[in-house]
Amino acid sequence: MKYKDLEKLSAADLDKKLKETRVELIKLNGQVETGTTPKSPGQIKNLKKTIAKINTLQNKGKQ
């Protein structure tokens, strides 16, 4: 997800998106650990980046 799109979301929506993204990342990591290949291998990297973007936005708002 792009940073500009995340900036438009409210704080509650950001929290919800963060939880959803983390759950999805846990599922994909579980697939990798069991030896199954995920549908798109680059998705794990994108999820990690999205989590970092959300955390950055949340920290920016606290200042």
CA distances from 53 to 13, 24, 38 (A): 14, 16, 23
pLDDT at 40: 86
Domain ranges of the chain: 3-62
What's the whole-model pTM score?
A: 0.88
Assign 3-class secondary structure to 6-60: HHCCCHHHHHHHHHHHHHHHHHHHHHHHHCCCCCCCCHHHHHHHHHHHHHHHHHH
Residues 7-61 have pLDDT tens digits of 999 999 999 999 999 999 999 999 999 998 888 889 999 999 999 999 999 998 7
**Radius of gyration of the CA atoms of the chain, in A:** 13
Measured distance CA(5)–CA(39) in Å, rounded: 25
Pick the CATH number of 3-62 from 2.60.120.1060, 3.40.190.10, 1.10.287.310, 3.30.70.2080: 1.10.287.310
